[in-house]
Amino acid sequence: MDPNTAIEFARTTLLTALKVAAPLLASVLLLALVLAIVQTVLNLQEQTLTIVPKIVTAVLMTCVLAPWMLRALMEFTIPLLRDVLPMRG
């Protein structure tokens, strides 16, 4: 495998990971921002009030986005295996 191919694989891997993780991270980040504003307005200092909704949001978003995430990972993995496996033989 030449260096350009390895660099392209690494670039594609990082972009796919970012594409798959971004919606989940963005939803939790948005919820954290809303919760921080609510805590500030209501002058609450309890940490469990923010952790539990973030975990629930992450789990729900993962369940909702799972088909799309799986499809994106398959679109990445199948061509990768087609390109890499012939190189081994």
Predicted pLDDT of residue 89:
56
16-60, pLDDT tens digit by residue? Answer: 999 999 999 999 999 999 999 999 999 988 888 889 999 999 999
63-89, pLDDT tens digit by residue? Answer: 999 999 999 999 999 998 888 787 765
Predicted pLDDT of residue 34:
95
pTM of the model: 0.78
Rounded distance, CA 19 to CA 12, Å? 10
3-17, pLDDT tens digit by residue? Answer: 898 899 899 999 999
